[in-house]
A and B are shown apart, each in its own frame.
Chain A
Amino acid sequence: MRKWMILLAAVVALALPGNSQVQNAPAGAQPSLEPGYYPVGPNPGYGGTPAVKNEPNPVGDDDPVALASGRRLFVWYNCYGCHGGRAGGGMGPSLRDKTWIYGNTDADIFNSIAEGRGKGMPAWGLKIPQGQIWQIVAYIQSLGTPREPDAPK
């Protein structure tokens, strides 16, 4: 008697229309993910562990060639588009101020660039050489100091 009722309930449940449908995307587009699936927080591009631990910047922090390269790469890789023309912020946070969400040691900044971060910072470690990332770190650490190349006027 009970099995029969369970079977009937299952048939009825299948017959009722769902009240929530995730529509198919147009042909060629990726299928929708279920809501709530997205991971938040640091998004390691290096497989779960931080890319570097507690290293000082191997290119140093006041080599003018490294600083000039870092500034050039900051523009070349579109960093200024999110972080502002002189890194004062925009779509992404300012890098000139005293607030550092993920820390401000050389290694912290390297990891944020290399690994990417959950609110839209790409994982550059998968795209550009480590040496270039260190040059960008040198530029970021120079912001607001006399070393800063191409400082705001």
Chain B
Amino acid sequence: MFGYARKFVAVSMAAAFFAAGAWSRSPRAPRGGRQAVTQVGGAFKLVSPVPNGDWEEPAGDLANTRFSPLSQINTQNVKNLKVIAILSDGIAHGHEGQPLVVNNTLYEVTPYPNELIAYNLKDLSGPVEWIYNPYPNPISQGKACCDVVNRGAAYGDGKIVYQILSDEVVAVDAKTGKQVWRTRTGESTQGQTSTNAPIIVKGKVYVGNAGGELGVRGKLTCLDLATGKILWTAYSQGPDSDVLIGPDFHPFYKKDQGKDLGVSTWPPDQWKHGGGTIWGWISYDPETNLIFYGTGNPGVWNPDQRAGSNHWSITIFARDADTGQAKWAYQVEPHDDFDYDEIMENIAIDMDWHGKMRKLLLHPGRNGFFLVLDRETGELLSAEKFVDSTNWASGYDLKTGLPILNPAKVTHQGVVTTDICPSSTGGKEFVPSAVSPITGYDYIPAHNTCMDYEGLPANYIAGTPYLGADVKMYPGPGGYQGMLEAWDLKTQKPVWSIKDPLFPVYSGVLATGGNVVFYGTLEGWFRAVDARTGQILWQFKTPSGIIGDPMTYIGPDGHQYVAIYSAIGGWMGATAFPSISISDPTAALGVVGAMAKIKQYSPPGDNLFIFGL
């Protein structure tokens, strides 16, 4: 135990020492200590190095642990955390995602119009370094299902790379703010938007797309980091050639085996509006050279318009990072009845699993089940409920990989099915959890929301919603609608939770080497929690609900800072906007019924808060 503590102190002192000298080095030299930390703690093995001063990828590391080894801020001193800076961008829409920190500069991607702002960390009260404005197409504002959000950028080879709402990937020179390249991936007029954050691996950029509520075909696009040229595209449905399924593809379960399932598991041509968009997180495992991500709902929400298992919607894919060829795929929910997109994070760790060291993939699902898979084969090893009220299925059959459905909760056209838990927003939304290799817990931002759901006949009209459902959500039973839950990875059981009576937890989570876990609430509280016990050690009321993801970095002075957006919006948070009426509980795709009180707790906002000791 003390050995670990000494190692943390040494690592953070090294980071501080190197950070203090960083600005005197040439701009191209890597920061001392950055990305140097390959193992911390003993609960599981990290598979990709975790950031140690900068923050260059959306999740910090490529394996999506959202763990930082930094420990200057720890359980003893976090009660002294104070506001260092409040940075406003004037755009009062949902700020999802997280900023980046590279070479003493903090980079923020704003919601539409997707400005990239470079802040000088040496003087946050002075002028910004520069602002890059990509001028997205204004009609994209009316195609974004869930507010005009952006989930962040990635840094690679001197460039900041991100997506703009109207379907272009842009690369900006990190020093000068000048555009380096700009590549189009789709059309707003067809209903596509682009909201997810890229990851950058070995000179390649990986991005997904959005628009599953408008009948858009989901796809993962791989671009060359130097030129922006599109190298390959992997669709989420269609013939195997579209899905980049070839001789290397070995799905573990029989239900996912067969030729051209992306066509045959749909009524004729229905796959062409098959959704399966990729609007969440992408992770990478250097050990297996595999990219992991999940796909979204199968297009039209009315299940009766798409008989069949609707491959490859709601599927976790593993692809070769170089060629894009699929290695395995696991469809989490065949023939979705509930809009349970499974685009959540897929966290890669190596851990002793029932006596044997295994390469795992952790996926706390929208559907209320915590999935653990073998990331080499796609075998489902465990699926336990992490929200008690989950009732659409009683569990998973690990032999077949299929959920054990509750027949009382299936949905149909013309039938109102009531009390389905979780709601379409899920037992957890896209907002990412974090894992700690010290405690061995996954800290899940969870929801307890249920819904009524009626399928309606829907027409496909390009650029308009292709929905076919009347949905009304409301808080689940038990007196709480949200919780931060610590989930023990060894036992696959909850350890502790901090419950919020009124609203779901809609922020990301950060776990740190100081054994402090950070997260935020929709009322605007930003909290620091003891990673072992769940005790709230510190909290600060920011003015707007928190739907972003906390990150941490070492500043030019060698000290540790934590940054978080305070700017409500997004899907559930849209209820806070003046443009939404709480007299209609079915508005905003049904969330208003669960969120009506939010207008009294959180106005829209536009702030980025930086905290330090």
Contacts and interface: CB of A to CB of B under 8 A. Distances in A.
Check if A and B associate.
Answer: yes
Interface of A: 19-23, 25-26, 29-33, 35-36, 38, 40, 75-78, 80-82, 84-94, 96-97, 99, 118-122, 127, 144, 152
A90 B574 contact: yes
A41 to B, nearest CB: 9
Interface of B: 133-135, 137-145, 168, 173, 178-184, 186-188, 213-214, 227-230, 233, 456, 458-459, 461, 463-467, 470-472, 574, 577-590, 592
A84 B180 CA distance: 40
Contacts of B464: 77-78, 81-82, 122
Given A86-B584, A120-B143, 16 more contacts: A19-B178, A22-B182, A23-B227, A29-B186, A30-B184, A32-B182, A33-B137, A80-B465, A81-B465, A82-B464, A85-B470, A85-B472, A88-B582, A89-B577, A94-B580, A122-B463
Nearest to A82: B465
Looking at A20, A93, A122, A152, the one whose CB has the most chain B CB atoms below 10 A away is A152
Contact of B183 (A23, A82, A87): A23
B138 A97 contact: no
A76 B580 CA distance: 22
Q: List the 6 closest pairs (A to B, CB-CB), nearest first.
A: A120-B142, A81-B465, A88-B584, A85-B586, A88-B587, A84-B587
Given A85-B590, A88-B582, A119-B139, A78 B230 contact: no
A93 B144 contact: no
B182 A89 contact: no
13 contacts: A32-B182, A36-B135, A76-B459, A78-B467, A85-B471, A86-B584, A88-B582, A90-B587, A94-B587, A97-B579, A120-B139, A120-B141, A121-B142
A91 B143 contact: yes
A81 B463 contact: no
A122 B189 CA distance: 9
Contacts of A76: 459
A119 B586 contact: no
B142 A23 contact: no
A32 B168 contact: yes
Given A22-B182, A26-B230, A120-B139, A89 B584 contact: yes
Contact of B588 (A36, A90, A97): A90
Contact of B587 (A78, A85, A119): A85
A79 to B, nearest CB: 8
A51 B444 CA distance: 52
Nearest to B463: A122
B183 A118 contact: no
Nearest to A36: B135
Contacts of B582: 88
B581 A88 contact: yes
B220 to A, nearest CB: 14
A36 B138 CA distance: 10
B3 to A, nearest CB: 51
A35 B134 contact: yes
Given A20-B179, A23-B182, A119-B139, A84 B465 contact: no
A123 to B, nearest CB: 11
Given A77-B461, A118-B138, A119-B142, A89 B581 contact: yes
Contacts of B586: 84-86, 88, 152
B413 to A, nearest CB: 12
A20 B171 CA distance: 10
Nearest to B178: A19
B143 A99 contact: no
Nearest to A98: B581
B146 to A, nearest CB: 8
Contact of A23 (B138, B229, B233, B463): B229
Contacts of B233: 26
A139 B213 CA distance: 24
B403 to A, nearest CB: 27
Report which residue of A19, A77, A89, A127 has the largest number of chain B beta carbons within 10 angstroms of its beta carbon.
A89
Contacts of B587: 84-90, 94
Given A20-B178, A26-B233, A87 B584 contact: yes
A121 B142 CA distance: 7
A119 B140 CA distance: 7
Contacts of A119: 138-139, 141-142
Contacts of A77: 459, 461, 464
Given A21-B182, A85-B586, A122-B464, A99 B578 contact: yes
A118 B592 CA distance: 26
A80 B464 CA distance: 10
Contact of B184 (A32, A85, A144): A32
Nearest to B458: A78
A23 B233 CA distance: 16
Contact of A81 (B181, B188, B213): B213
A85 B301 CA distance: 14
B180 A20 contact: yes
B143 to A, nearest CB: 5
A96 B581 contact: yes
Contacts of A29: 184, 186-187
Nearest to B228: A23
A116 to B, nearest CB: 9
B585 to A, nearest CB: 6
A90 B578 contact: no
A32 B182 CA distance: 9
Contacts of A92: 142
